[in-house]
Copies of this chain bind each other. A is one copy, B any other.
Amino acid sequence: MIRTIEWNGDAVVMLDQRRLPAEEVYVTCRDYREVAEAIRTMVIRGAPAIGVAAAMGVALGMRQADPSRLDEEFEEVCRTLAATRPTAVNLFWAIERMRRVYQSARGITLGNIQATLLETALKMWEEDIQVNQLIGWNGAELLASGMTVLTHCNAGALATAGYGTALGVVRAAVAAGKKIEVFADETRPFLQGARLTAWELMKDGIPVTIITDNMAGHFLKSGRIGCVIVGADRITANGDVANKIGTYSLAVLARENQVPFYVAAPISTIDLSLASGEEIPIEERPAEEVTHVFGVRIAPEGVAVRNPAFDVTPHRYVTAIITERGVARPPYAESLAQLAG
């Protein structure tokens, strides 16, 4: 089993996703600031996984908090963790859930508050795996045996506490006895597809083929791809989907070639407070992610770079959204409100 993130008794341990697949190295975060830094620098990434990491970060932060100024420290811990990455809503959802637990626990002893927060974070870890298994179950029936699934980025065990969202659907279909093959976009600049999706599917013995991002259109046009399944970082009330940069292009190319385009995500990714994708903040990451690959410079010194980490896919390109509570179909304003409300 892939150990994306774990609580080891007094610290948060994460598999360092920057160094896969060459090295399986674990990073131990001994205070909440180290957890925040691990999220910011993408030691851990993937919307559900950073939600769990933030929850563990809050629990860790409060175990080390000054008892004389507990409320202030709680706010400082939450603020620091919330400031790491802006796009995935699961981060804010997890912090909000920890806040509600903290607020309702404020009468009890400090030791009990700390235990309750930790218990909640561990429960969120466990729930995330169960949620992914349900997503997988719900999505598996959309896949026919013999199908090739195209996926982008990594929405797998490494993007969650375990099992995965998009790759959870693939795993569930395989578990149901279907023959499924995966095409994985390499997903520049961070190479989540070539490094992470390929690595975890090979571990599970599921056939995977890497292509560069710009090959996806060619294979969608060729008839080689049965459907596209991706994860999500935030889904707005109308069904617009923020996900890894390049997702929008895939969705357009899938529709142009009559290939179904599915989004697999937990209910916690749905943000009913935003009417449409235009309101989602899109993170711009450092230029070095584009100009360097594993420390090797590939572009001229001093060249200008843009590096938006996400894009927004308008809901009209989305065939269905697969959640743990069922599969939402258009019109999403109704189906998502029903599932998430």
Contact = CB atoms under 8 A, between A and B. Distances in A.
B303 A208 contact: yes
Nearest to A189: B212
Interface string A76-99: 000000000000000000000000
Contacts of A183: 306
A210 interface: yes
| Number of copies of this kind of chain in the complex | 2
A219 B308 CA distance: 10
A245 B296 contact: no
Interface stretch (A25-33, A104-112, A195-203, A258-266): A195-203
A307 B219 CA distance: 11
18 contacts: A21-B300, A188-B188, A195-B298, A198-B300, A202-B302, A209-B304, A210-B305, A211-B290, A211-B306, A214-B214, A217-B252, A218-B245, A218-B248, A221-B248, A249-B249, A252-B256, A293-B298, A294-B298
A53 interface: no
A210 B293 contact: no
Interface in A18-45: 21-22
A185 B305 CA distance: 10
A246 interface: yes
A311 interface: yes
Nearest to A282: B218
Interface string A241-278: 00001101100110010000000000000000000000
B294 A194 contact: no
Nearest to A293: B293
A238 interface: no
Contact of A215 (B210, B215, B304, B308): B308
A298 B245 contact: no
Contacts of A221: 248, 311
A241 to B, nearest CB: 13
A130 interface: no
Interface string A139-163: 0000000000000100000000000
Q: Which of A199, A208, A256 has the most CB of B within 10 A?
A: A256
Contacts of A297: 22
B210 A245 contact: no
A303 to B, nearest CB: 5
B296 A294 contact: yes
A233 interface: no
Nearest to A244: B214
A291 interface: yes
Given A188-B212, A214-B245, 15 more contacts: A21-B299, A22-B297, A183-B306, A194-B299, A198-B300, A199-B300, A211-B305, A214-B249, A215-B245, A215-B307, A217-B248, A218-B245, A221-B311, A252-B252, A252-B253
Contacts of A215: 245-246, 306-308, 311
Contact of A299 (B188, B195, B291): B195
Contacts of A256: 252, 256
A20 to B, nearest CB: 9
Given A21-B299, A252-B252, A188 B210 contact: no
A265 B304 CA distance: 27
